[in-house]
Amino acid sequence: MRVALLTYSTKPRGGVVHTLALGEALARAGHDVTVWALARGGDTGFFRRVAADVDVRLVAVPEIDGEGVGERILRSIALLAAAFGASPALPFDVVHAQDCLTANAVGRAHGYGALWRTVHHLDTFTTPELAACHERALVEPAGLVCVSEAVAGEVRAGWGRAPAVIGNGVDAARFAAAAASGAGEPWRARYGRYVLAVGGIEPRKGTLELVEAMASVDAPLLIAGGDTLFDYRGYREEVFARAAALGVEPVVLGPVDDAELPGLVAGAAVFAFPSTKEGFGLAAMEALAAGVPLVARDLPVLREVFAGAARFADGPEGFAREISGVLEGTDPELDPAHATVGRALAAAHTWDAAAAAHLALYRRGPSGD
């Protein structure tokens, strides 16, 4: 098959990681894969090297000072639609958008009636252009895929559609190898026994509650990641003000080089995952692959994905209690057998299996829901 996968960014966000890993797995299975992405800030490539047998097409989105979110969304859609529609690589056998923005772009250029779209998680947007983009990308594509049953249930209840469910894969061996090789030691030498959160500082990641929890935890908090389309300066200021008031000094690492990420994860004493919305939890699954104890928000989707391999919490007090229980060794589940469960869970989620499930879905075609 000739497969086009489309993603909204070149940065290390969950949907982008998914797109690249799925594309590489499809290529390993013998298919002709092209990954399309919007490239902002002068980016000339993805955050990591992409396998040579995957064709990469980047569409530049030049920065415009003072441009609002809605304007930027519409311009991004128009630029990608124009580039995709003019591509000499057409036609593809499969066109699969990994987010609402690219779904709107290829829907315009290619037609929604032959489009697949993956719903990684559902959001509520107040920007009119983005709200409309989100709605069209749920209603118009021929076929939908969700990365968990919980998100598929939300789509069924809210839009009356019947998505296929195909979970993420994870490069478990890479994170397990980092733990086995001692790649976490330099991070521990620098920061001690630290709590790690990945995803940056933004409302959906639950950063404010985590900072409040850390006021009662005797360990440093490291926050990695953070590239996003949206302007969360107001929320970041609120988080930093609250941290200062509580005497918490989070170490904000920003985006971490892909080669360094497994060591950072493997060095953590606890991986905190307080997200208020998730579709699967890829970063948390990577932590389990490295044998790191996971404390996650008690959401249905995270219960579905991580039951038996995580400790669940709600609110600052709950996160403080569970994180401290791990650090102090008072958690009755904190034993080698529990870590083994987490590693086994991560190892069971492979990108090759995810690619095989996608190929079977493509061959069946949309269900006509």
Q: Do 55 and 163 have their domain in common?
A: yes
Q: Do 184 and 328 have their domain in common?
A: yes
Averaged pLDDT for residues 92-113 = 92
Averaged pLDDT for residues 338-354 = 94
Q: Do 14 and 129 have their domain in common?
A: yes
Q: Do 148 and 23 have their domain in common?
A: yes
Q: Is residue 369 part of a domain?
A: no
Averaged pLDDT for residues 182-188 = 98
Q: Is residue 241 part of a domain?
A: yes
pLDDT of 275-330, one tens digit each?
A: 999 999 999 999 999 999 999 999 999 999 999 999 999 999 999 999 999 999 86
Q: Do 301 and 154 have their domain in common?
A: no
Give the chain's domain count: 2
Q: Which one, of 192, 213, 161, 194, lies nearest residue 293 by Cα?
A: 194
Q: Do 128 and 245 have their domain in common?
A: no
Q: Do 340 and 212 have their domain in common?
A: yes
Q: Is residue 330 part of a domain?
A: yes
- What is the pLDDT confidence band of residue 91, given thresholds at 50, 70 and 90? confident
Averaged pLDDT for residues 326-339 = 69
Q: Do 157 and 297 have their domain in common?
A: no
Q: Do 153 and 195 have their domain in common?
A: no
Q: Do 241 and 294 have their domain in common?
A: yes
Q: Do 135 and 203 have their domain in common?
A: no
Whole-number mean pLDDT of the chain? 93
Q: Is residue 28 part of a domain?
A: yes
Q: Do 13 and 150 have their domain in common?
A: yes
Residue bearing the bigger pLDDT, 68 or 3: 3
Domain region containing 315: 172-348
pLDDT of residue 45: 96
pLDDT of residue 356: 98
User: Which CATH number goes with the domain that contains 101?
Assistant: 3.40.50.2000
Residue bearing the bigger pLDDT, 315 or 338: 315
pTM of the model: 0.93
Q: Is residue 284 part of a domain?
A: yes
pLDDT of 217-227, one tens digit each?
A: 999 999 998 76
Q: What is the CA radius of gyration of the chain?
A: 20
